[in-house]
Amino acid sequence: MITFDKVGLTYAEADAPVLADVELTIPEGELCLVIGRTGSGKSTLLRAINGLVPHFSGGTLSGRVIVDGRDTRRHRPRDLADVVGFVGQDPLAGFVTDTVEDELAYGMESLGLAAAVMRQRVEETLDLLGLPDVRHQPLADLSAGQQQRVAIGSVLTTHPRILVLDEPTSALDPQAAEEVLATLQRLVHDLGLTVVLAEHRLERVVQYADRVVLVPGAGRPVRHGDPAVVLQDSSIAPPVVELGRVTGWRPLPLSVRDARRRAAPVRALLADRRPPTPERRAPGPPMEPLARVDHLVAGYRGLRVLDGVSTGLWPGEVVALMGRNGAGKSTLLRALVGSKRPTSGRVRLGGVAPDELKPTELLRHVGLVPQEPNDLLYAHSVALECVQADRDAGVGAGTTRTILERLSPDIPDSAHPRDLSEGQRLTLALAVVLAARPPLVLLDEPTRGLDYTAKHRLVEILRDLADAGRCAVLATHDVELVAEVSSRVLVLADGELVADGPTPDVVTASPAFAPQTAKILAPQRWLTPTQVATALAEVTEVSL
């Protein structure tokens, strides 16, 4: 169906090729998962399938990409629109029309299908993706999961044989991600569609994949094959695979179900061991909270986003803020930095209200890395950005650069912040925030687009912050990260705080928030493969 024949690609003004000598054949009806670190060329590989690379991106393509018998060198993306459906990273950025129905019909209109055919296919697609209730609604008013499904539907209506998706679930909460993946699964099984998708959250998708393509980056050869084989020694692996490596299961389990069926002996070994509990310093006197939120109500024009939230944040904590898309996580963070004024209730940062602080004082109390780290950055180079941050924070020259060096040592001074990878940009924004030494650091969705290596780095940074007596709060959908790093979890739903407690208690209470390790070893409360590895090592030592 898709053949890459000695494909290489070098972007204009780049020294080294992104892809070199890619030999790959994807047969019809397969669900193919493309993995690799950020910036390794996954997106380039996906975009080469429908000709966006090189027709839209520029650069030099060597070799040939043949899709359903058509050579992408001679066919522009629009000429392949009836064979390949392409869904980009941000569904909202790719919407051309205003409402769901119009968006679904858009591709068919371009192909010039008859009106009667279009009517019928729109109805079929609405049913297939579970969207009939929102058919007339404006796209901007839909939830993130619905938007992603509309984006998929809008390319399905032209009846393509191949569906290409770039990180379809990375911005979604666990429930919405399930929705989208279930849809893809159905398309592969019912319609025999060939699906190629790139994803960082392997724990969500790897179990559905027939084949994994590992793009190692820097022009090194692409590896592909059976998921269990490719993942055996890959540095990128979901927790279930890591657990499989720790326990020595062969072939590697890819789903919770596979692993659980083999987990009984491990559970028996671990039966009399206690999982480590996060140490929680006693709240209240003598420890003063860094921030207090009392009966906070906040919203936008008639819509109550936060509805009576009360909690506190203490030094030495890493707090995870979870909840559906639109549950009020970002609004709570914005209220903590004073960008969102409370309708009623109050927010206090060590006794003062954040919205009354002058900006120059605010950054000494609290720092926020926004969802889009770019918003914080505006210089032309990393070096200039660091100098500017020193000046903003009123600290000695070189402070920011030193912090950045510790967080991520390999960022060149001369690079433009926009050319950095997602992970590097996040660390740069974090370094800028940390320069003023705020005791409270907030991160909004820090793991969007981060690979496992960058995530491990982030975990270490957050632990260091907590050890230094500061408090970090992260709003995230990533249950694995939460299990790894946080000591306390807050769950928001419909503007109210529905759970507030130590991580093990909260995440094991509901399957939606449980990490894979916890699901495999339930009812025991192990959260990460690392915990299990440590415990197993102790057990074997004792038995020797």
Partner 1 sequence: MRPQHLVTHPRSLHPGAWWLWALGLAAAASRTQNPVPLLLVLAVTGFVVAARRSDAPWARSYGAFLKLALVLIVVRILFQSVLSSGSQGPTVLLTLPDLPVPGSTGLKLGGVISLEAVLQATYEGLQLATILCCVGAANSLGSARRLLRSMPGALYEVGVASVIALTFAPQLVTDAGRVRAAQRLRGQSGGGLTSMKRLAMPVLEGALDRSVELAAAMDSRGYGRTTHRSRGSRRLTGLLVFGGILGVAVGVYGLLSGTSTSWFGLPMLLAGCVLAATGTYLGGRRTGRTKYRPDPWALPEWLVVGCGLVPAVTMFWSVRTDPASLFLASATTVPPVPLLACAGIMVGLLPCVLAPPLPRVGPVAPVGTAPVEAAA
Q: At closest approach, how far in Å is the CB of 155 from partner 1?
A: 7
Interaction of residue 97 with partner 1, rule CB under 8 A: yes
With respect to partner 1, which residue has the nearer C-beta, 5 or 82?
82
Residues 153-192 that bind partner 1 (CB under 8 A): 154-155, 158
Shortest distance, position 85 Cβ to partner 1, whole Å: 8
Per CB under 8 A, which of residues 472..531 are in contact with partner 1? none
Tokens (6 digits) for 65: 């990409």
In DSSP notation, 229-251 reads: HHGGG-S---HHHHHHHHHT-SS
Contact positions with partner 1 (CB under 8 A) in 348-387: 358-360, 362-363, 367-368, 370, 372, 374-378
At 422 the three-state DSSP class reads helix
* Residue 12 contacts partner 1 per CB under 8 A: no
Task: Write out the binding residues for partner 1, residues 217-246 only, by CB under 8 A.
Answer: none
String of DSSP letters for 190-218: HH--EEEEE-S-HHHHGGG-SEEEE--ST
Residue 113 as a binder of partner 1 (CB under 8 A): the answer is yes
The size of the interface with partner 1 (CB under 8 A), counted in residues, is 76
Q: Which residues pair with 444 in a beta bridge?
A: 475
Complex with partner 1: residue 46 or 206, whichever CB lies closer = 46
Q: Is 168 exposed, middle or buried (0-12, 13-18, 19+ CB in 10 A)?
A: buried
In angstroms, give the least distance from the CB of 18 to partner 1: 17
Listed ranges 99-107, 211-219, 229-237, 277-285: which one lies at the site for partner 1 (CB under 8 A): 99-107
Interface with partner 1 in residues 414-443 (CB under 8 A):
418, 432-433, 436
CB closer to partner 1, 367 vs 529 = 367
Spatial distance between the Cα atoms of 6 and 133, rounded to a whole number of angstroms: 47
Nearer to partner 1 by C-beta: 84 or 171?
84
Q: Are strands 70-71 and 60-67 parallel, antiparallel or unpaired?
A: antiparallel
Q: Which of 32, 52, 252, 454 binds partner 1 (CB under 8 A)?
A: 52
Return the number of the residue (185 or 339) whose C-beta is nearest partner 1: 339
Q: How far is CA 103 from CA 55, 93, 125, 147, in A?
A: 24, 13, 12, 11
Binding residues for partner 1 restricted to 306-345, rule: CB under 8 A: 334, 337-339
**Least Å distance between CB 308 and partner 1?**
24
List 8, 63, 94, 217, residue binding partner 1 (CB under 8 A): 94
- Note whether 76 binds partner 1 by CB under 8 A: yes
Q: Which of 29, 77, 299, 502 binds partner 1 (CB under 8 A)?
A: 77
* Piece in contact with partner 1 (CB under 8 A), picked from 51-59, 201-209, 462-470, 492-500: 51-59
**Gyration radius of the chain's alpha carbons:** 24
3-state secondary structure of 477: coil
Cis geometry, peptide bond prior to residue 438 (ω within 30 degrees of 0): no
Tell the smallest beta-carbon distance from residue 379 to partner 1 (Å): 8
- On whether the CB atoms of residues 66 and 53 are closer than 8 A, the answer is no
For β-strands 2-10 and 60-67, DSSP reports them as antiparallel
Compare residues 211 and 329 and give the one whose CB is closer to partner 1.
Answer: 329
Residue with tokens 């660091």: 386
d(CA 455, CA 200): 11
Q: Which is nearer to partner 1, 392 or 405 (CB)?
A: 392
202 token code pair: 């392997």
- The residue from 14, 23, 28, 56 that contacts partner 1 (CB under 8 A) is 56
Nearer to partner 1, 41 or 244 (CB): 41
Closest to partner 1 by CB, 246 or 336: 336
Residue 26, both tokens:
């994807």
Own/partner contacts of 312-315, CB < 8 Å, gap of 24 or more, are 312/283, 313/289, 313/440, 313/471, 313/473, 314/281, 314/283, 314/287, 314/289, 314/290, 314/471, 315/281, 315/287, 315/290, 315/439, 315/469, 315/470, 315/471
Tell me: does residue 276 bind partner 1 (CB under 8 A).
Answer: no
At residue 149, the 3 state secondary structure works out as helix
Bridge partners for 310 per DSSP = none
Q: Considering the complex, what minimum distance in angstroms separates the CB of residue 105 from partner 1?
A: 3
Residues 130-159 that bind partner 1 (CB under 8 A): 132-134, 136-138, 140-141, 154-155, 158
Q: Does 25 sit near partner 1 (CB under 8 A)?
A: no
71 binds partner 1 (CB under 8 A): no
Token pair in block for residue 235 = 């540095």
Least CB distance from residue 213 to partner 1, whole Å? Answer: 20
